[in-house]
Chain A
Amino acid sequence: EADIYQTPRYLVIGTGKKITLECSQTMGHDKMYWYQQDPGMELHLIHYSYGVNSTEKGDLSSESTVSRIRTEHFPLTLESARPSHTSQYLCASSMQGQNTGELFFGEGSRLTVL
């Protein structure tokens, strides 16, 4: 079982609020990722990090930001949430790159913006 944790699992907030989705892993993986998934649709990579102080934007443009101050922690922040941000956000980590090694996913954070 993967040791990667996301909080909160569910969040309902109003428009304009700032939110942070937390992701932590205890596997010592250097590489971490954030994916966005809408119902019935494919996962899209929105951010990734290959180590401390390294962050990059993914394939899908996102208004969110991320930080990587510690190896085990990769939080995602929305400064001003909007209804278009309503989605499921999945955090993942891997020992190797996402396209070579196995990805371990967290349980997801389902965000609803009213």
Chain B
Amino acid sequence: KNQVEQSPQSLIILEGKNCTLQCNYTVSPFSNLRWYKQDTGRGPVSLTIMTFSENTKSNGRYTATLDADTKQSSLHITASQLSDSASYICVVSDRGSTLGRLYFGRGTQLTVWP
């Protein structure tokens, strides 16, 4: 069964600290993996998209890694800011065609305290 599991479910950190969010998937075949940031009450915003051949991609203070062999991805946030408080969603696509579908994780709720 194709699934995307994220951990932890929620996380609280102090402003300025780093953190790492995890995503494990069983989706096969694999096409790409995305990380989205969703602020409370808003729509998700794309942070990174990685294909099979990419094992790391950065977007400012966000760095995503992908290990396609172990089917794991992580999102590392450096020097956290209050505005990083949001839900971070891992999404995996099963093939690069219009016949494919997206599998969404339930997200990690990150809270950054001052």
B106:A99 contact, CB within 8 angstroms = no
Whether the Cβ atoms of B94 and A99 lie closer than 8 Å is yes
Q: Which residue of A has the minimal Cβ distance to B46?
A: A102
Most-contacted residue by chain B among A44, A59, A98, A110 (CB, 10 A): A98
* Cross-chain contact A42 with B106 (CB below 8 angstroms): yes
The residue among A41, A90, A97 with the most chain B CB atoms within 10 A of its own CB is A97
Stretch from B17-25, B59-67, B96-104 contacting the other chain: B96-104
Q: How far is the CA of A104 from the CA of B36 in the complex (A)?
A: 11
Whether the Cβ atoms of A99 and B93 lie closer than 8 Å is yes
Q: In terms of DSSP, what is the predominant structure of the interface of chain A?
A: loop
Q: Are B42 and A43 in contact (CB under 8 A)?
A: no
By the criterion CB–CB under 8 Å, are A97 and B100 in contact?
A: yes
Which chain A residues in 32-84 approach chain B with CB under 8 Å? 40-45, 50, 59
- State the interface size on chain B (CB cutoff 8 A): 24
Q: How far is the CA of A13 from the CA of B77 in the complex (A)?
A: 40
The interface residues of chain B lying within 8 Å CB-to-CB of A43 are 44, 89, 104
Whether A106 pairs with B96 at a CB distance below 8 angstroms is no
- Please give the distance in Å from A74's CB to the nearest CB on chain B: 14
Q: With a 10 A CB-CB cut-off, give which of A40, A43, A45, A106 has the most chain B CB atoms.
A: A43
Query: Provided the pairs A40-B106, A42-B105, A43-B104 are in contact, do residues A99 and B42 lie with their beta carbons within 8 angstroms?
Result: no
Interfacial chain B residues near A106, Cβ < 8 Å: 43
B49 at the interface (CB under 8 A from A): yes
Report how far A42 CA is from B105 CA in the complex, Å: 6
Indicate if B114 sits at the interface (CB-CB under 8 A). no
- The answer to whether residues A110 and B41 also contact, given A42-B106, A100-B31, A102-B49 and a CB cut-off of 8 A, is yes
Closest 3 CB pairs of A and B: A105-B43, A99-B93, A99-B100
Q: Interface residues, chain B, CB within 8 Å of chain A? A: 4, 31-32, 41-46, 49, 89, 93-98, 100-102, 104-107
